[in-house]
Amino acid sequence: MWTSIKRVIKAGLVNFYRDGFVSLASVLIMTVTLFVIGGVLFLSATLQASLEDLKSKVDVNVYFIASAKEVDILALAGSLRTLPEVRGVEYISRAEALQNFKKRHERDELTLQALQELPDNPLGAVLNVRAKEPSQYEGIANFLKSDSALGSGTPSIIDEVNYYDNKAAIDKLTGIIRAAERMGMAFALLLVVVSISIAFNTIRLAIYTSREEIGVMRLVGASNKYIRGPFIISGILYGVVSALLTLALLYPLTYYLGDSTEAFFSGLNLFRYYLAHFGEFFLIIAGSGIALGAIASFFAVRRYLNV
């Protein structure tokens, strides 16, 4: 059995090198397909990094009335920290809120002048609340509206909660990212179909050019598996060579784009990401290449090799 396996593998290697032009065409089209699959992986990583960066910036600000007591606000902050969906709560006092307001309007002299004419600080304290996931802000907002936030019968000291403005922004961006991922996967799937078709026709052509050799093999009593095997091995070789070529091309490309993506995509350096996840890229791209070649060869042999 081992001898037969070695002969099948050797015959597949011979077919791969002997049909140089058709092998080159199959390798090139598979390389393009695998390159796009790699591009989809990078696109998903960059989009995910952008979304995570936005998640870290999105928060809910709870504005309190100017007459609210600090002890009540801190009690509410403590209640919020006990919620499992809350990542952190930052307290901004009335004085800090006033300083932040002056800093934001430092070039607006009319606003600053009007502020100076007021007898007292008109701004209330603020709680900056960050959730673990954007979808959890709705639950936090509902908690702030409930009686359990400050206690039943206690007058409300909350002036405004700016949850819904941030919700619209995060939902819109999430929808854009999901649409981009679907388009990328659809494009990759299209190239996969094209690649399988090319490999399918390549194997069919190889079967046609080897028809006399196949006839001789039948006459001497070669088994069906022995006749089919070399063509499937050739298809697998198309995928292996294409995967190695794709992985080699991604190295200089990510190195060239690394600094640019780090500045644009929230600190994500594609080159460092590629090196850190090279094992995953190798398994996905090599596995996809071998699967494409083997599947295309299997169906081509099954349809066009009547043994």
Residue 146 host element (H or E) = none
The alpha-helical segments, DSSP class H, found in the chain are 2-18, 20-57, 70-81, 94-104, 109-116, 137-145, 163-209, 211-219, 224-264, 270-276, 278-304
pLDDT of residue 68: 82
Token reading at 86: 């809350």
Shared domain for 178 and 121, answered yes or no, is no
229 or 170: whose pLDDT is higher?
A: 229
Shared domain for 10 and 129, answered yes or no, is no
248-306 pLDDT, tens digit each: 999 888 888 887 777 776 677 888 888 888 999 999 888 888 887 777 777 766 665 65
Token reading at 30: 């598979």
Range of 67-71, 161-165, 196-200, 296-300 with top mean pLDDT? 67-71
What is the side-by-side strand order in the sheet with 86-92? 86-92, 126-131, 60-64, 158-161
Shared domain for 48 and 89, answered yes or no, is no
Task: Choose one of 92, 126, 156: the last residue of a domain.
Answer: 156
Shared domain for 48 and 83, answered yes or no, is no
The CATH number of the domain holding residue 91 is: 3.30.70.3040
pLDDT of residue 282: 92
Task: Please tell me the total count of domains within the chain.
Answer: 2
pLDDT of residue 210: 64
Shared domain for 196 and 251, answered yes or no, is yes
Shared domain for 129 and 258, answered yes or no, is no
SS (H, E, C) 181-211: HHHHHHHHHHHHHHHHHHHHHHHHHHHHHCH
123-168 pLDDT, tens digit each: 888 888 888 877 788 888 888 877 666 665 567 788 888 876 666 7
pLDDT of residue 151: 62
At residue 241, does pLDDT exceed 70? yes
% of the chain exceeding 90 in pLDDT? 3
146 or 72: whose pLDDT is higher?
A: 72
Shared domain for 118 and 255, answered yes or no, is no
Please give the Cα distance from 28 to 249 (Å, whole number).
12
Q: Is the pTM of this model over 0.75?
A: no
Which domain covers residue 95, as residue numbers? 66-156
211-222 pLDDT, tens digit each: 666 677 777 776
